[in-house]
Structure 1
Amino acid sequence: MTGHGGAEAGTGARRDLRALPKAHLHLHFTGSMRHATLLELAARDGVHLPDALVEDWPPTLSAADEKGWFRFQRLYDVARSVLRTPDDVRRLVREAAEDDVADGSRWLEIQVDPSGYATLFGGITAFTDLVLDAVREASQATGLGMALVIAANRTRHPLDARALARLAAQYADRGVVGFGLSNDERRGTTTEFAPAFRIAERAGLLLVPHGGELRGPEHARVCVETLGAGRLGHGVRLAEDPALLDDVVRRGVALEVCPTSNVSLGVYSDLTSVPLPTLLAAGATIALGADDPLLFGSRLAAQYATMRAAHDLDDATLAHLARSSFLASRAPDDVKQRALADIDAWLAAAP
């Protein structure tokens, strides 16, 4: 595919994707954990892990029905349960940063629902303070630019989302850059979360709800028109509605596309079915993301590699995707400008 000016596809010479500067905009906190760290922390505290998180890892998943999503969520909750101390939290964030740097990331917006940790860590405010402190430490240690997205849970009451939106607003100038809505798209009523998103919007936060993955393009429309999404978590099903896709592109709403998780959860049968070429052809701003490497077994650079292989993307298109990831981010201007220049240098160098 040479839709963005490249001509070297098919020559066999390919540039190193780990050296391509990227921004990572769709990574969940618990799901960023290294598999080895999960095993180590579980052994330390005698936490029994299901086979799917041990010898059968990465697990075989599907969210095609409610039972499949419940199994996915149960594995996620077990993984969350091994984080017991502040040092565990700091370790998770530091390792997530180290892994991103190894994959060529220059900027990471990591997403967390503090209510999932509130009981163990002294409430949502205390836990947010801890995570932001861990983010500062990890950023200093690794050189990776980092920020936090606070996400509400669709399966909880919309009033809980408002509390989290107010929390996010309090930290809008202290490391929190966005407010999201995650968990199973098919649960809850999306419009009921609009008041929470208005709170976050007034604070100047980027609005980043999940939409258009497990549910079709009509739910992406609700997320854009009712919640005011500036970026859509996933959004791949917009490919099924060309007129709506064009509207989303016109509005400047970026898409956080996570190919490996789309296939793992049964949204698409294989990586060649992920409609990235359709989204690119429509002019969408796209940031590839790893979603939950702990459960899907694949980190950031692998998303670029799988899409390169599945759709025969040339390096110019991959560079275009990397540029888009920074343009869709809340990275500081100096970080963006340096990264964009280095992406150009990556592409200008010989394969």
Structure 2
Amino acid sequence: MAREVRSLPKAHLHLHFTGSMRPSTLLELADKYGVHLPEALRSGEPPKLRATDERGWFRFQRLYDAARSCLRAPEDIQRLVREAAEEDVRDGSRWLEIQVDPTSYAPRLGGLIPALEVILDAVDRAMRDTGLEIRVLVAANRMKHPLDARTLARLAVRYRDRGIVGFGLSNDERRGFARDFDRAFAIARDGGLIAAPHGGELSGPSSVRDCLDDLHALRVGHGVRAAEDARLLGRLADRGVTCEVCPASNVALGVYDKPEDVPLRALWDAGVPMALGADDPLLFGSRLAAQYELARDAHAFTDEELAELARQSVRGSVAPEEVRRGVLADIDAWLAAPAG
């Protein structure tokens, strides 16, 4: 008999803002604003995606942009964050770090600073409403100019006391160079934020190395392609760099053909810390607990190993020590309880 993974306490470190939306909420907001959504977003089923070529990635981005266009007012932002928190609580999350690029919402929310303040206000309200501890990572878009990233880094540091804890770099890692954004990440690090760029999903091990060498990453978004380079795995393990692994999205985007192909065991066996994440549940159809189910069903992770994955997610977070101690103790209690 196996224990229920939803009741396993855990931290969630890889969740994108628009991608956290419930499909039903997207449909309601689209109707509210008269937005014509692509059929792939109206069907109620996760869209068929394969982003390993440029056409596939363009389609993914087009769907994401269509969903984001339905977030037009502060009450929409508040609803999204509250519902994302509710889903996380249901899946056993005790600490959520949600990633957002506020420039994407600025045109409809009065500008960059007002947009960020609306987002942070929504996070504060969601924490009060659900009891979930939530923090924010501001992410630059690598498809935009590096100067834009520097602006975002300065803004993120300015609002650090409002719950911003990290700085990321998202979008197609096959475009541009990580080193183009080194100054933005230096600004963020100097301001006390952790570096958590994306790498090692659509591109191979070299993109993970660039995150380490050029951006001094403490965490890597995805990072699974590091499994193709044994020396890189050793480096991640030695440095204790947590990879935010999102198995369902890796399969949905065509990085791997089936769940069994995601190299969870390779990273585990090499001693690389992992934090399982849902990435974009709106588009990939599964949330946090489902990632742990996948580790169990496709990779035969035992309850003891799932508990250790949960511990690694907590250790990889920026949660304060007293929060970590409490969640780690509850993980031990989950494992000590009878199965079934």
Q: TM-score range by the shorter chain?
A: over 0.9
Q: Is 1:256–1:287's contact at 8 Å kept on the other side of the alignment?
A: yes
Who is 1:128 aligned against?
116
Write the distance in 2 (CA, Å) between the matches of 1:225 and 1:250. Answer: 15
Who is 1:10 aligned against?
none
Whether 1:50 and 2:42 are equivalent positions in the alignment is no
Helix, strand or coil for the counterpart of 2:296? helix
Look up the equivalent residue of 1:317 and give its one-letter code: E
Alignment RMSD: 0.7
Helix, strand or coil for the counterpart of 2:243? strand
* Aligned partner of 1:73 among 44, 53, 61: 61
Q: CA deviation at 1:57?
A: 2.3
Whether 1:266 and 2:254 are equivalent positions in the alignment is yes
Who is 1:257 aligned against?
245
Post-superposition Cα deviations, 1:154-175, rounded to whole Å, max 9, x if no partner, equal: 1000000000000111112220
Write the distance in 1 (CA, Å) between the matches of 2:112 and 2:8. Answer: 36
Percent identity over the alignment is 62
Write the distance in 1 (CA, Å) between the matches of 2:2 and 2:236. Answer: 32
Post-superposition Cα deviations, 1:256-292, rounded to whole Å, max 9, x if no partner, equal: 0000000001100100000001101111110000000
Look up the equivalent residue of 1:139 and give its one-letter code: M
Task: Flag structure 1 segments of 5+ consecutive residues without an equivalent.
Answer: 1-12
Whether 1:183 and 2:171 are equivalent positions in the alignment is yes
Q: Is 2:102–2:116's contact at 8 Å kept on the other side of the alignment?
A: yes
Write the distance in 2 (CA, Å) between the matches of 1:56 and 1:168. Answer: 35
The one of the two structures with greater contact order (alpha-carbon pairs below 8 A, sep at least 6) is: 1
Helix, strand or coil for the counterpart of 1:226? helix
Write the distance in 1 (CA, Å) between the matches of 2:64 and 2:7. Answer: 31
Q: Is 1:186–1:215's contact at 8 Å kept on the other side of the alignment?
A: yes
**Superposition pairs for residues 330-349 of structure 1, below 5 Å?**
330-349=318-337
Deviates most, 50-59 or 98-107: 50-59
* Aligned partner of 1:105 among 66, 75, 93: 93
**Superposition pairs for residues 78-157 of structure 1, below 5 Å?**
78-157=66-145
Look up the equivalent residue of 2:297 and give its one-letter code: A
Helix, strand or coil for the counterpart of 2:195? strand
Who is 1:40 aligned against?
28
Who is 1:296 aligned against?
284
Helix, strand or coil for the counterpart of 1:23? strand
Write the distance in 2 (CA, Å) between the matches of 1:114 and 1:55. Answer: 28
Deviates most, 126-135 or 320-329: 126-135
TM-score (structure 1 length as normaliser): 0.96
The total of aligned residue pairs comes to 339
Write the distance in 1 (CA, Å) between the matches of 2:247 and 2:330. Answer: 25
Q: Is 1:165–1:196's contact at 8 Å kept on the other side of the alignment?
A: yes
Write the distance in 1 (CA, Å) between the matches of 2:43 and 2:169. Answer: 32
Whether 1:222 and 2:210 are equivalent positions in the alignment is yes
Who is 1:4 aligned against?
none
Q: Is 1:51–1:57's contact at 8 Å kept on the other side of the alignment?
A: no
Whether 1:240 and 2:195 are equivalent positions in the alignment is no
TM-score (structure 2 length as normaliser): 0.99
* Aligned partner of 2:8 among 20, 28, 42: 20
Q: CA deviation at 1:56?
A: 6.0
Write the distance in 1 (CA, Å) between the matches of 2:159 and 2:72. Answer: 24
User: 1:191/1:135 Cα in 2 relative to 1: closer, same or farther (>3 Å)?
Assistant: same
Q: CA deviation at 1:125?
A: 1.2
